[in-house]
Chains A and B, each alone.
Chain A
Amino acid sequence: MKNAISIDGIAKGFQQKKVIQPLSLNIEKGGIFGLLGPSGCGKTTLIKMIVGLIKPDAGKVTVLDHEVPNEALLMDVGYMAQSDALYTELTGAENLEFFAKLYRFSKKERRERIQYAAEIVQLTNDLNVRVAHYSGGMKRRLSLAVALIQNPEILILDEPTVGIDPLLKQSIWEELERLRNEDEKTIIITTHVMGEAERCDKLAMLREGEIIAAGTPEALKTQFAAETLDDVFLRIGGGLK
């Protein structure tokens, strides 16, 4: 199994509007895959179809050799939504505990996983504070911790570093790279920050629900004869072929 995820001609429309044109994409195992594209181009929609939260109108998604939706897969995919989905009445620890319980961990495992996830996002000292009193960035980090809680094979992160300061961003990226290198995890990330895109192993550029370019950051720069990814993005966004 070389591909962690293979997308085969999926399409999705909301009401009259076609949001994802039929598109196919293979994502290799063990790497960081970046999804780029202007706001509203369908990144979140595409990601939700991979997780199984939206049913495609056509085509199919295969994750780790199982066709989505598949119950076993939900264990292997850690998902971080674009908007924080947290229980604000509960503390950070209670949120993590709740999700950890859904994955049926033993009490000891739960404690370990919560500690690990909280450390990565540097929330250990704020775990007993209610989420309602968290700052925007803290909520974002807790959402990331929730995605990490079950130690999944595949991490799908929808704009994970929005609102997080550069220092913390750096340490989160180091952890993502460690997960890729040591644990051979597959990580899919959407971002608007070109510095982050640069650190991905592979990129796909989406526009109006179509993949208009894909490859390593270097290959993309060569393809569009651009100095930086920013330039690539601007050309694509500007409608150049």
Chain B
Amino acid sequence: MRIASLVTRITQQMRRDRRTLALFFLAPLLILTLMYFIFDTEASDLKIVVTGSDETIVKALKQADFQVTAAEEFSREKMIEKDTDGWLHVENGKMKLTLLNDEPTRAKAVQMQMMQGLQGNEKNTPSIEEKYVYGDANTKGFDTFSPMLVSFFVFFFVFLIAGIALLKERTSGTLERLLATPIKRYEIVAGYVIGYGLFALIQTIIVVLYAVNVLDIVLVGSIWLVLLTNILVALVALSLGTLLSSFATSEFQMVQFIPLVIVPQVFFTGIFPLDGMSDWLQKIGKVMPLYYASDAMNGIMYKGFTFNEVLLDLLILLAFAIVFITINIISLKKYRAL
């Protein structure tokens, strides 16, 4: 019941703080939408140049909605100069496709459209050798890293809001006052976990539903698994945020944890390809909760992984949460030995 009263109080406080509430629920949607438009610009007006080929291929590609130009010769330099999305070179029946790949989504669109266009022309699927001007085949598009964005928002906002809430309790003396009542230390931590966990859950539901239904982001796996993953993410963020808040003396100092704790984690979430990183750098990623969160989220939303396939990630997240929560309960001893 003491836990329930703490949860009620947190809910009341959050409801009164309309701005924080709006930030918590709407800011993720805003950022997600922005990123959607930035990364997923409608792949229209794809310009390609064909060299060494006959009319049939050019015709087929024109039908496939490309802006096709046939040329005698072409080069990578000219691709960059003329902002050409793709250059298809046919020689002795072999096809070589060079992709500009300045935007991964456009490159992917060229590949897809070309496959479809050429398929109608010949019986068997044409084999095309692919080259890239920028990046490589692993450069990722919005679909592949939007799942991790969902977890990132949960982590970011829960970390900040719960951390600042506990900080405020410390500085305003209410935490001390709370500890002069018979409440147990674990009850305080549990109240926080449940109170902010509820808000994180609502946030996740809103963000996921918006991403899937409005922005059309792929969700191959189960939405329940997505929610479960993000509840764990919220637990980790909350317990880490409240823990670090004891090292801050003001809200501004809490904000200073963003470049220290949150930004580095983003580098290991899959926006940047991990395979190319040196070993020691990859090892650093392994101590970061968001690494496992994105791995699980990417698996569930993009690759359709099942519970068993992401179980390890989830267990590691749970372990992070348990460790941080325990340290939280112990660290409250500073205020009251009981």
By a beta-carbon cutoff of 8 Å, the part of chain A in contact with chain B is 51-53, 55, 69-71, 74-75, 77, 79, 81, 83-90, 94, 98-99, 101-104, 130, 146, 150
Picked from A77, A90, A104, the residue with its CB within 8 Å of the CB of B9 is: A90
Which residues in window 176-191 of B have CB below 8 A to A?
176-183
Contact between B2 and A51 (Cβ–Cβ < 8 Å)?
A: no
Given A89-B16, A102-B2; A53-B179 close (CB under 8 Å): yes
Q: In whole angstroms, how far apart are the Cα atoms of A99 and B13 in the complex?
A: 15
Decide yes or no whether B172 CB sits under 8 A from chain A.
Answer: yes
Given A87-B9, A90-B13, A102-B181; A52-B174 close (CB under 8 Å): no
The number of residues on chain B lying at the interface, defined by a beta carbon within 8 Å of a beta carbon of chain A, is 25
Residue of A nearest to B337 (CB): A69
Decide yes or no whether B214 CB sits under 8 A from chain A.
Answer: no
Q: List 30 A-B contacts (CB under 8 A).
A: A52-B337, A52-B338, A53-B176, A53-B336, A71-B182, A77-B180, A79-B177, A79-B180, A81-B176, A83-B173, A84-B173, A85-B174, A86-B172, A87-B9, A87-B174, A88-B172, A89-B12, A89-B13, A89-B17, A90-B12, A90-B16, A94-B12, A98-B8, A99-B181, A101-B1, A101-B2, A101-B4, A102-B5, A130-B16, A146-B177
Q: In whole angstroms, how far apart are the Cα atoms of A101 and B1 in the complex?
A: 8
Decide yes or no whether B247 CB sits under 8 A from chain A.
Answer: no
Residue of B nearest to A83 (CB): B173
Given A87-B13, A89-B16; A102-B182 close (CB under 8 Å): yes
Contact between B183 and A53 (Cβ–Cβ < 8 Å)?
A: no
Residue of A nearest to B173 (CB): A85
Q: In angstroms, how far is the closest chain B Cβ from the Cβ of A150?
A: 8
Residue of A nearest to B338 (CB): A69
Picked from B2, B9, B173, B338, the residue with its CB within 8 Å of the CB of A81 is: B173
> B335 to chain A: which residues have CB within 8 Å?
53
> B179 to chain A: which residues have CB within 8 Å?
53
Picked from A51, A70, A89, A102, the residue with its CB within 8 Å of the CB of B183 is: A102
Q: In angstroms, how far is the closest chain A Cβ from the Cβ of B338?
A: 5
Given A51-B180, A71-B182, A102-B5; A86-B12 close (CB under 8 Å): no
Q: In angstroms, how far is the closest chain B Cβ from the Cβ of A90?
A: 6
Q: In whole angstroms, how far apart are the Cα atoms of A51 and B177 in the complex?
A: 10
Residue of B nearest to A99 (CB): B181
Residue of B nearest to A73 (CB): B182
Residue of B nearest to A102 (CB): B181
> A87 to chain B: which residues have CB within 8 Å?
9, 13, 174
Residue of B nearest to A97 (CB): B5
> A70 to chain B: which residues have CB within 8 Å?
338
Picked from A55, A79, A81, A84, the residue with its CB within 8 Å of the CB of B337 is: A55
> B174 to chain A: which residues have CB within 8 Å?
85-87
> B178 to chain A: which residues have CB within 8 Å?
102
> A55 to chain B: which residues have CB within 8 Å?
337
> A71 to chain B: which residues have CB within 8 Å?
182, 338
Residue of B nearest to A76 (CB): B182
Picked from B16, B172, B182, B183, the residue with its CB within 8 Å of the CB of A85 is: B172
Q: In whole angstroms, how far apart are the Cα atoms of A223 and B5 in the complex?
A: 51
Residue of A nearest to B175 (CB): A85
Which residues in window 1-58 of B have CB below 8 A to A?
1-2, 4-5, 8-9, 12-13, 16-17
> B172 to chain A: which residues have CB within 8 Å?
85-86, 88
> A101 to chain B: which residues have CB within 8 Å?
1-2, 4-5, 8
Residue of B nearest to A90 (CB): B12
Residue of B nearest to A150 (CB): B181
- Looking at B13, B180, B335, the one whose CB has the most chain A CB atoms below 10 A away is B180
Q: In angstroms, how far is the closest chain B Cβ from the Cβ of A53?
A: 6
Q: In angstroms, how far is the closest chain B Cβ from the Cβ of A136?
A: 15
Contact between B180 and A74 (Cβ–Cβ < 8 Å)?
A: yes
Q: In angstroms, how far is the closest chain A Cβ from the Cβ of B217?
A: 35
Given A101-B2, A101-B5; A52-B336 close (CB under 8 Å): yes
Residue of A nearest to B184 (CB): A71
Contact between B2 and A75 (Cβ–Cβ < 8 Å)?
A: no
> A53 to chain B: which residues have CB within 8 Å?
176, 179-180, 335-336
